[in-house]
Structure 1
Amino acid sequence: MVWLEDSLTWLSGVLWGVPALILIVGTGIFLTIRLGLVQLRLLPDALKLVFSPSKQDKSSEGDISHFAALTTAMAATVGTGNIVGVAAAIALGGPGALFWMWVSAFFGMATKYGEAVLAVKYRITDDKGEMAGGPMYYLERGLKQKWLGVLFAIFGAVAAFGIGNTVQSNAVATTMENTFGVSPWITAIVLTVFAALVIIGGIKTIGKVTAYFVPIMAIFYIAAGLIVMIMNFSLVPEAFGIVFSAAFTGEAAAGGAIGAAIRYGVARGVFSNEAGLGSAPIAAAAAKTDLPGRQALVSMTQVLFDTLIICSITGLTIVMSGLYGGGLNVDDGILTNQAFGFFLGDIGPILVTIGLLFFASSTIVGWAYYGEKCFQYLFRSSRLLVVYRIVYVAFVFVGAVVPLGIVWLFADVMNAAMAIPNLIGLLGLSGVIVVETKRITDKIKAEKSGTEPVDSAVEQ
């Protein structure tokens, strides 16, 4: 077991190491350039699609709305990384790590956009009449490399039980016990019942729950952070100054090196928003949309909300508190707890715990859908999905009451391994993304001018 744990630790370090992070961010930079800064150029239109009820497509092919697809993806993405991950980045890389999280998120928006374009373009209708899509399908149907699709599906189906399930329920149970004295067994029962009620119903139920649940949990946590900033507004400009200065000096970073700020900032940023890992496009493929690019615009805002807003709330609160140099045990989220406690007293850790409860619970639900779609791809049938869902729900209970040990490491390896075939697909099919971007750009211009565009799309 020691040998296995050491081996998984080494492999995780390789998969999440500097070359892999360069590849992930490099893909985002490549797509940003090739798509003409799509994350800035079309951001206003993307936000209109997210927040305007009249923009929700109700007639096109698909299972759920633009907004429900976004919240399902955000449910899986917004998790412990937004609280504990940001704290780890700042503790290990210094306050400058937050700047590099922002940088990775900016380019990650283009990556997330490209993933969603391909997911919708190459999706299929399964034997139940529901949409199925994601990297496994665009690797097979677009890139014509089925073996890469199979690899991605294996990695995704396994990773769902770890990073999306047991790790999350274990974090909730541990935090609830530490903050409120609640027995892990009680937390396990409540989480399992919640997961069962939502997951067994499939994507339409998941979409309805996340469309209601995710905005509430995000607003709750953002409000807590804004209260801290408003009450201590004089510290906000100073915090931004520290972040920007430390990003290029390595001040207060591990070893005082700029490389530490970049490494931990980018790594935790990618871990938080999952841009390039290939998970979110599985949810995007279920959306009702007339053009792949339209849902892709909605999907790219996920990175904006996840990293540029929610992670920033955590990071700025920590920097404002000045506690990041204390060598605290960030693995248990103590740094974030103490930062909020520094400003809000005893209520601070309680708010962080409630936020973690919401975030982790939503991640369990979102990753259930990712895992079952990977499972469905491997077996080419939806008949066994109910079995997968039951087993998945059972593992929610297991994760809350059993020490995880090497399970987390194994899941982390699988999660990182998903990125490799997905990035190959994104780079190999970048021409398709360019064509679909022109289609949606022409369509938006035509809608604003009241004319009908000539569809310039060609088969790739």
Structure 2
Amino acid sequence: MDSINSFFLFLDSYLGSAVYFPYLLLGVGAFFTVYLKFPQVRYFGHAWKVVAGKYDKAEDKGDTTHFQALATALSGTIGTGNIGGVAFAIFLGGPAALFWMWMTAFLGMTTKFVEVTLSHKYREQTEDGTMAGGPMYYMEKKLNMKWLGVVFAIAAVISSFGTGNLPQINNIAQSMQTTFGVEPILTGGVLAVLLALVIIGGIHRIAAVTSKIVPLMSVIYVVGALGVIFYNLENVLPSLTSVFADAFTGSSAAGGFLGATFAYAFNRGVNRGLFSNEAGQGSAPIAHASAKTEEPVSEGMVSILEPFIDTIIICTLTGLVILSSGVWTEKHQTHFQRADTTFLMGEYSDTVVDDREHLFHFLNRGENEVKTFTGSIEVVAGVSVTSGYTVLSSRSVAEDVRFGVGSADEPYSGVLHVRDGLLENQDIAMTGKSLVHSAELTTLAFKQGFFGEYGQYIVSIGLLLFAFSTTIAWSYYGDRAMIYLVGQKGVMPYRVCYVAGFFWASFSDTTLVWNLTAVTLVLMTLPNLLGIMLLRKDMKDSVAQYWQHMDADKKR
């Protein structure tokens, strides 16, 4: 697993974590924002009228209403990115990361508008009578670049696991275990059966389920978040101030948080912003292609609302909950994950200024004197009796470290072997105090409000609904990609693998899953961004024709 995780990190260093990627993603959004004269602002009100059905026509072709298409797409975007993803971004980059999530969302509103319009415009009807669309169709039909469509479709199938499947159930299982003590394998088994029952029914059943889940889960989560924010109201303004103040400087050290550079916060904020609202990734256009309308731009209008609801509203609430509660800088008793734990040579303390400085550079890939540990550690009754090393877990100096066998319930006694900072004893589990991230961090933050300990149940229920609906939506994205690649015959084998992967991820390593997600997310985004840039004139003409049609309808 350590080798696999290292491979994913290597790939990510050339993809999502590469210097060029955030600039490319934001650059495309900024270009279309200017090129189309700020459609996310000018068309915002009109978008609400379209989704409300004001311009619907009974004779229009499609499988879903505008609202159902939006709900399906939102269910694909509102998931662990809003609960675990925001927490992960703040954990990595501090408050500054939230600012860059906002910027990604604002510019992403335009990117989403473009990709959805073009995907709907070049959609096709499949063998079973349903609609199929997405970037792969405009790549083939308009750009005459089928090879690029194939690359995108393959990436979409892989990303349906890496974005919409594995991290969703992984976070659900983690949250259910933390809150209710339910074993991950049990959570995965039950939900895998429910997932199979829903996705076998295709887009009609998927749309029916998601259009009911999305409003319900949003209300529950918003109420819970406001309960924490108002309880910690005196911390809200300082939290917002730190978001803006750190945006261009990076986040300074605070508590157990060792700090993050501007480049790191910028990259992680943009990356997690993309994971949250998927603007530019090309996934949501697959859901919107099913909408009943002969005006592709009208469905593009609807999609403008997605990043706004998903990131500007939901992610902001999560961010303020985490920042105002203060739990993001505090160390908590937790199980250490192997992929997130490193042994360092020498003894360091985060209360010593010089030590913090060295560790800061180590974590942010700067030049430093910190070296990883290689050697043996003697343990008696779960406690190390060897000195001269430091355990770094979840980007923080670990405290009260205990070594156990299996699940860590049985204290370990013996000798441990560490090579290049990694523990070689595969059967040893570690516990102690460190920073936490993902859904676990959000769960802790929700306890710091008017609902007290009951706040964790809001996160668990919200995460269950958010993430499960995301998994449902992404199964549809994947099977549309399979139809494009091999036809209808590929749908059922894909669904079987999708459910099996869902079950497996419920008890796999969280960090491993998140790193896989980072890679697969970009594999879809790069071809899609290239495609929409090549069709910029087509997009501009489509918008002009839409308003001409609207003016003509008004005169009738």
Aligned to 1:197: 197
Aligned to 2:153: 153
Aligned to 2:30: 29
Instruction: Give, in angstroms, the shift of residue 20 of structure 1.
Output: 1.4
Q: Which of 276, 280, 298 is the matching residue for 1:276?
A: 280
**Counterparts in 2 of 1:41-56, with a 5 A limit?**
41-50=42-51, 52-56=52-56
Aligned to 2:166: 166
How far apart in 1 are the matches of 2:91 and 2:461? 22
Instruction: Give, in angstroms, the shift of residue 293 of structure 1.
Output: 0.5
1-10 or 142-151, which deviates more: 1-10
Q: Which of 487, 490, 498 is the matching residue for 1:384?
A: 490
Query: How high is the TM-score relative to the length of structure 1?
Result: 0.91
How far apart in 2 are the matches of 1:416 and 1:63? 29
**Counterparts in 2 of 1:32-431, with a 5 A limit?**
32-50=33-51, 52-252=52-252, 255=259, 257-326=261-330, 327=396, 329-343=435-449, 344-379=451-486, 381-401=487-507, 409-431=515-537
How far apart in 1 are the matches of 2:515 and 2:438? 16
Q: Contact conserved, 1:96 with 1:243, CA < 8 A, in 2?
A: yes
How far apart in 2 are the matches of 1:412 and 1:99? 20
How far apart in 2 are the matches of 1:345 and 1:81? 24
Q: CA RMSD in A?
A: 2.1
Query: How high is the TM-score relative to the length of structure 2?
Result: 0.76
Instruction: Give, in angstroms, the shift of residue 3 of structure 1.
Output: 4.5
How far apart in 2 are the matches of 1:240 and 1:445? 43
- The answer to whether the aligner puts 1:451 opposite 2:451 as a matched pair is no
- The answer to whether the aligner puts 1:435 opposite 2:435 as a matched pair is no
Letter of the 2:448 counterpart: F
Q: Which digits, 9 at most, give the CA deviation of each residue in 1:278-305, with x for residues without a partner?
A: 1111111111112110000111211111
Aligned to 2:390: none
Letter of the 1:262 counterpart: F
How far apart in 2 are the matches of 1:2 and 1:340? 32
Greater strand percent: which structure? 2
Instruction: Give, in angstroms, the shift of residue 217 of structure 1.
Output: 0.8
Instruction: Give, in angstroms, the shift of residue 215 of structure 1.
Output: 1.2
Q: Which digits, 9 at most, give the CA deviation of each residue in 1:265-288, with x for residues without a partner?
A: 212111111111111111111111
How far apart in 2 are the matches of 1:114 and 1:43? 14
| Structure of larger gyration radius | 2
1:281–1:3 CA distance, 2 compared to 1 (3 A): same
How many residue pairs align between the two structures? 448
Instruction: Give, in angstroms, the shift of residue 197 of structure 1.
Output: 1.9
Instruction: Give, in angstroms, the shift of residue 54 of structure 1.
Output: 4.0
Greater helix percent: which structure? 1
Q: Contact conserved, 2:175 with 2:443, CA < 8 A, in 1?
A: no
Structure 2 counterpart SS, 1:167 = helix
Instruction: Give, in angstroms, the shift of residue 427 of structure 1.
Output: 0.4
Q: Contact conserved, 1:25 with 1:104, CA < 8 A, in 2?
A: yes
Q: Contact conserved, 2:87 with 2:322, CA < 8 A, in 1?
A: yes
How far apart in 2 are the matches of 1:330 and 1:293? 43
Letter of the 2:269 counterpart: G
How far apart in 2 are the matches of 1:166 and 1:93? 23
Q: Name which structure has the greater RCO, CA cutoff 8 Å, separation 6+.
A: 1
Structure 1: 5+ residue stretches without partners: 453-460
Instruction: Give, in angstroms, the shift of residue 246 of structure 1.
Output: 2.3
Q: Contact conserved, 1:69 with 1:283, CA < 8 A, in 2?
A: yes
Q: Contact conserved, 2:229 with 2:236, CA < 8 A, in 1?
A: yes
1:80–1:208 CA distance, 2 compared to 1 (3 A): same
Structure 2: 5+ residue stretches without partners: 331-395, 397-433
Q: Which digits, 9 at most, give the CA deviation of each residue in 1:426-450, with x for residues without a partner?
A: 1000111111111223344555xx2
Letter of the 2:528 counterpart: N
Instruction: Give, in angstroms, the shift of residue 5 of structure 1.
Output: 3.5
Instruction: Give, in angstroms, the shift of residue 214 of structure 1.
Output: 1.0
Aligned to 2:348: none
Aligned to 1:455: none
